[in-house]
Chains A and B, each alone.
Chain A
Amino acid sequence: MFEIVERKMIVPNLHLLVVHAPDVVEEIQPGQFVIVHAGEGSERIPLSAADWDHETGTLSIVFMEVGTSTGRLALLEPGDAIPTVVGPLGKPTEIDHFGTVICIGGCFGMGSIFPVVRALKEKGNKVITIMEGRSKNLLYWEEKLARYSDRVIKLTRDGSYGYKGHIKKGDDIIRETGIKPNRVIANGCMTLSYKTTQEYAHFDVPVMVTLNTIMIDGTGMCGVCRCTVNGEMKFACVDGPEFDGRLVDWEELAKRRQQYVGEEAFLVHHSGCGGI
């Protein structure tokens, strides 16, 4: 069992989960994820690593409460334990001295981009971090990100903080400054990944995005996470989860992610009555 050290809602609907998992953090690297079981019998769900501490052996995750499993996670209190935290899984984000890198985080991705930002800065890159959210009260970890960024650009759709606009606005700002990035890295929901690919492809540099496919084992055994990248079948859990968005078949990915929408909704409405 893995003990919960902390669980708190950091902004509406997004929770920080700190769990004691010393084996998992031993060799963990930015861009990797874990699979957790929120409780006995739960689904196995993938969640990205947002931070870790080798000394205390703890792993931090930022997750959004969207359904049954994340709903169960959101009820955890310090001292509780969950049966599975396995990882770190997936290929780490490629960290190198690229030059200038734009790091974009939205939703839970403002958390999971943090280790990437930190590692890139430590490698001597110029890091421009973009935080994206609907409104001011949905942005978090600004200070943490700023510590390792040369510049932090805040975008809110309602204009309540930073610049008003979506991911496109970030591109406008970068273009105005005349900066030529050598790489773009985005973490967050599918929409953010897709839009980032669309809006930033013109720089003609890799646009690395994390693909949130459905997963079960996370070890390449089941193939449910398969997606098409550059015309080839890839398994997001072992070949990814990060791919160059410019090569991803987005339409297929969007459809594959809809496979269990019916069932998941059904389950939420029926939980507690014992089922049929």
Chain B
Amino acid sequence: MLVKKRFLFIILDVEEYNMAEKKTSRFERVEMPKQPPYIRRRNFAEVALGYTPEMAVKEAKRCIDCKKPVCIDGCPVEIDIPGFIRCIAAEDFSGSIKILKEKNCLPAVCGRVCPQEEQCEIKCILGKKGTPVAIGRLERFAAEWEASQGKIELPEIKLNTGKKVLVIGSGPAGITVAGDLILAGHDVTMVEALHEPGGVLTYGIPEFRLPGKVVSREINYLQQLGVKLVCNYVVGKTRSLKKILEEYDAVFLGTGAGLPWFMEIPGENLNGVYSANEYLTRVNLMRGFEYPKSYTPVKRHKRVAVVGGGNVAMDCARTALRLGAEEVYIVYRRSQQELPARLEEFENAEEEGVIFHFLTLPEKLIGDENGWLKEIECSRMKLGEPDQSGRRRPIRIDGSEFIMPMDACIVAIGNSPNPIIPQTTPELEVSKNGTIVVDESTGKTSLDRVWAGGDIVTGAATVILAMGAGRISARSMHAYLSTI
């Protein structure tokens, strides 16, 4: 069965590749082949298939190697973008990955999930006349090329300093700190509460957008460098931060924004109502999509409403389709213009058949006699004046209530910082939103020898920002460790 499916992909791949070949000019980017919507909406394999070397070289040659490369300004970690693209254009793929890795330790991840369209690519000069250089796709290509070579070069590690560092949380922030500090010669241990490392990259972002093997490759790399990984360890519960500080010279908190928000409307505890985290965790971390081959059950609902408009909402909706749902809705209270999800993910979701209800607000979840969700009562909204976030504020239209029959509702309206460490460490300064307060230029917290970064500091943000924050902390931690 599995073999047959693979075979089908291969044939489609070739067709898609050929099609992509045809329609490019200097001002148009080389399209990246994707699984066609009618097929991918029912499988968990990766949607975007990546460039071939020929495509990558062709796309790279579009870059005009600007004197003042504005794209770099858009990159939160300031990758030498024209530099790595130039290497690809010259077919020096190993040179290109070297340049990428100078600034970004997770290019295979960022090439896939970074919002390039609002960071580097939006700045690209070619965007003014046509489409910007596909920087993200090229980044992904270089990383995949390296992985396909089988042997990943391990950089030389300086002398062991004997200084002990504990990195708490194994998401992108923690991975960055662990990587930087091990290379600086420190003794690094990374602990993770769950049974698998990777943070949101593992439990949240679905397989079809970021395959698990990409993340485990990066974790393996860290372990090869000498990082000790301990899963099933909840700091604040297994051991208090205070005790940990007796044993380690420096500690980094990268515990993420893992506490799901609910809407606080009636009926939210009905069966069939999930937080996005629960739904995605069941499917990704617990591999529910293989159930009953895996052990954690996941319901295969027929009609599913996902509340929210970010990447998380798109991921839930597309996961529900892949689990066999007949109708999947995104219910979002503002309009398409305000949708926070990446454009690419919105388009992917739409192509796959997700139905969008914009300007719609759930008011009440209504259950049957057994406590299962039966229908959702919603109101229509209109947009008023801009609020603090600069987006126009949604206003309820009175009397516009209507009912949608629904088997499941997934609440994807955001997450707060994970509270376990702040709750068990009263000395640690937190903001009223529960984020840890740090000095922005160093990542230092109010506690001596403790740094923090990523979603735990900013609230739910992005992979690259978490990595950027990790890098800032790592630099400051290294400076400190060098003095003791």
Contacts and interface: CB of A to CB of B under 8 A. Distances in A.
Contacts of B296: 43-44, 216
B371 A256 contact: yes
A137 interface: no
Contact of A260 (B277, B294, B297): B297
B281 A216 contact: yes
A96 to B, nearest CB: 19
Contacts of A27: 237-240, 243
Contacts of B286: 43-44, 216
Q: What's the interface size class on B, roughly?
A: 35 or more
Contacts of A274: 293
Interface in B302-355: none
A23 B233 contact: yes
Interface string A10-53: 00000000000001101100000000010001111000000000
A238 B419 contact: yes
A219 B258 contact: yes
Interface in A226-276: 226-228, 233, 238, 252, 255-256, 258-260, 263-264, 266-267, 270-271, 274-276
B274 to A, nearest CB: 8
A217 B297 contact: no
B292 A37 contact: no
A23 B238 contact: yes
Q: What's the interface size class on A, roughly?
A: 35 or more
A34 to B, nearest CB: 9
B36 interface: no
A223 interface: yes
Given A227-B269, A266-B292, A219 B418 contact: yes
Contacts of B238: 23-24, 26-27, 86-88
A256 B367 CA distance: 12
A276 B370 contact: no
Contacts of A85: 232
Given A44-B195, A222-B260, A263 B295 contact: no
Contacts, number: 121
Contact of B193 (A23, A68, A219): A219
Contacts of A44: 195, 286, 296
B420 A217 contact: no
B268 A220 contact: no
B4 to A, nearest CB: 16
A235 B281 CA distance: 16
Decide if the interface of chain A is mainly helix, strand, loop or mixed. Answer: mixed
A83 interface: yes
A69 interface: yes
A274 B1 CA distance: 14
Nearest to B255: A219
A37 B291 CA distance: 16
A133 B22 CA distance: 76
Nearest to A224: B278
B237 A88 contact: yes
Interface in B230-286: 231-234, 237-240, 243, 258-260, 262, 264, 268-269, 271, 274-275, 277-278, 281-282, 286
A256 to B, nearest CB: 6
Greatest chain B CB density within 10 A among A216, A266, A276 is at A216
B287 interface: yes
A258 B292 contact: no
Nearest to A226: B269
A222 B418 CA distance: 11
B239 A23 contact: yes
A222 B292 contact: no
25 contacts: A27-B237, A27-B243, A43-B286, A86-B238, A87-B234, A87-B237, A88-B237, A220-B259, A220-B418, A221-B259, A221-B260, A222-B260, A222-B275, A223-B277, A224-B275, A252-B269, A255-B271, A256-B269, A258-B271, A258-B370, A259-B271, A263-B292, A264-B297, A266-B292, A267-B292
Given A24-B238, A274-B293, 11 more contacts: A26-B238, A27-B243, A87-B234, A88-B237, A216-B281, A217-B281, A221-B259, A223-B260, A223-B262, A258-B271, A275-B291
